[in-house]
Structure 1
């Protein structure tokens, strides 16, 4: 098949060269007529235009074919939780304590902005260990840090569209999953905000897998656990690095900015 296309292309190129040489032939020929020259010139222009039209048509049809192929392969929608299905607003929460600006900054750096906060999602230790690590980053505010951490579930609020969106996708026949960096403490203290979990076909939380996005292992964990094919999945996350991690495993991704944007991007993949 490939050889046939190759030979056809060669023949086509030779034919085009012959056609484009017609005006030159008649121009150099001593006994040419004006009608012959104009006819050959018209032929050259006509062939050039038709070649361009056919090329554009081929590209258009090929693009449609690719879109149809993509549209037909998405079967699973995998959600991140934070800033996709729920709001995560630690700044307003921290402001509610009324700390002086300098103290607020110290506590923020020791808690929500510290590497410990992210590592806590891996779930390797008990909550008391992580609390101690937070306090060690700012010993002078240890008592207030404990209060902040113990109430940190208040940073999470379910977004209005979350339940409806998940239910809608399920009604259309898609399987829905969660893949999220989330600590066990936060899971225990935000249950009332995560009502969409009951609709999920499966979930992998970092604290139970002891793995973190964007490491490759956690993507393989959800694929293997639920026997998913990466090319049949689309992963939605607000962090570009997490999307890149999923892409490296062959998973389609959408970097979440807002609900309108993500639904439009899903439609491009055939998820409507």
Structure 2
């Protein structure tokens, strides 16, 4: 194993994946229809602006204004435990693996992270390649996003470990012959990498 591609949310940054939905229920929004899901995915790929994204929600759901929606949207984001950054910095210092980040995220979430997670820049500097879906206009689980990173850095799939908390993303990576670790945020911690995957430092 020569390369490791990490996910961000629920691997390093703790999430509450039901929080946004719960917040929106307070405004009478019980579920996302196909149109809303499609807009969310477009925003995650950076294909529409933050202004257009917020406008879509506030026009579609009259009970929302810009602030209430933004707060609800960002409520999924929680905290970044320090021990995970320490682990990553130690891993980088050993210089045994090439390290990459691949995250499905969006401009509003990253804006919140930059404002609220003090170690964000230190975290970002640990990676040779730092790929956010809204910046590269590609998102998991599409095969094209994995192929993009492999090609960009001349990586061999079989020498590359991909770590993610979402089964659908793991299955897509497996189809391209990447090694995988489906991390369960309820029972696993990224710092257990070397126990879980029998890698060596």
Please indicate, yes or no, whether the TM-score normalized by the shorter chain is above 0.5. Answer: yes
Distance of aligned partners of 1:153 and 1:271 in 2 relative to their CA distance in 1, 3 Å threshold: farther
Distance of aligned partners of 1:264 and 1:136 in 2 relative to their CA distance in 1, 3 Å threshold: farther
Counterpart check, 1:169 vs 2:91: yes
| Structure 1 residues without counterparts, runs of 5 or longer | 1-73
Counterpart check, 1:178 vs 2:101: yes
Whether the 8 Å contact between 2:20 and 2:74 is mirrored in structure 1 is: no
Counterpart check, 1:200 vs 2:159: no
Name the structure, 1 or 2, with higher relative contact order (CA <8 Å, separation 6+): 2
Instruction: Give the CA deviation at 1:90.
Output: 5.5
| Structure 2 residues without counterparts, runs of 5 or longer | none
Counterpart-to-counterpart distance in 2, 1:190 and 1:77: 23
Counterpart-to-counterpart distance in 2, 1:88 and 1:108: 20
Distance of aligned partners of 1:264 and 1:132 in 2 relative to their CA distance in 1, 3 Å threshold: same
SS in 1 for 2:109: helix
Which residue among 122, 125, 128 is the counterpart of 2:48? 125
Which residue among 148, 157, 165 is the counterpart of 2:68? 148
Instruction: Give the CA deviation at 1:233.
Output: 0.8
SS in 1 for 2:163: strand
Instruction: Give the CA deviation at 1:93.
Output: 7.1
Counterpart-to-counterpart distance in 2, 1:81 and 1:128: 24
Counterpart check, 1:106 vs 2:37: no
Counterpart check, 1:88 vs 2:15: yes
Instruction: Give the CA deviation at 1:119.
Output: 3.4
Query: In terms of Rg, which structure is larger?
Result: 1
| Residue in structure 2 matched with residue 240 of structure 1 by the alignment | 167
Instruction: Give the CA deviation at 1:227.
Output: 1.6
SS in 2 for 1:77: strand
Counterpart-to-counterpart distance in 1, 2:87 and 2:192: 14
TM-score (norm: length of structure 1):
0.61
Whether the 8 Å contact between 1:238 and 1:256 is mirrored in structure 2 is: yes
Q: Deviations over 1:113-148 (max 9, x none)?
A: x51334321110111111122234423x122xx223
SS in 1 for 2:53: helix
Whether the 8 Å contact between 1:110 and 1:134 is mirrored in structure 2 is: no
Whether the 8 Å contact between 2:21 and 2:31 is mirrored in structure 1 is: no
Aligned-CA RMSD value: 2.7
How many residue pairs align between the two structures? 187
Distance of aligned partners of 1:104 and 1:261 in 2 relative to their CA distance in 1, 3 Å threshold: farther
Counterpart check, 1:266 vs 2:197: yes
| Residue in structure 1 matched with residue 151 of structure 2 by the alignment | 224
TM-score (norm: length of structure 2):
0.80
Counterpart-to-counterpart distance in 1, 2:105 and 2:159: 25
Distance of aligned partners of 1:105 and 1:233 in 2 relative to their CA distance in 1, 3 Å threshold: farther
